[in-house]
Amino acid sequence: MRRIGNRVSYIKKPFAGGGIVAAGLCVPACLLLLAAVGIGYYTQGNAPLYAAGMGLCSIILILASVSCGIFSFFEKEKNYLLSKVGLAADGVMALIWILVISTAL
């Protein structure tokens, strides 16, 4: 609730546009991450080339989502809940990719 003088405004703040995009990009990034890791597990480490393509697309979507989430904090008088959720999910997925890539080397 926002205060205006002695009164309180009960109008809800809209979500930040970049936060909606950031949270929306997390879903396909997560699906691609799970598919690529699942294919690698199913083939016992001999994943075909399309699994690497899925992984690369997942990493690119994570980077795009992080940039949209960070830039959404520059929007004034908005609700940043989706931005924070998107950035947290991107951080977890980025950590998973770092662990997967570091164990493969």
Give this prediction's pTM: 0.85
Residue with the larger pLDDT of the pair 78 and 3? 78
pLDDT at res. 9: 65
d(CA 53, CA 35): 11
pLDDT at res. 7: 73
pLDDT at res. 1: 55
Q: Are 22 and 65 in contact (CB under 8 A)?
A: yes
Domain boundaries, the chain: 15-104
Residue 95 has pLDDT above 80, yes or no: yes
Q: What angle do CA 47, 104, 68 make, to 5 degrees?
A: 85
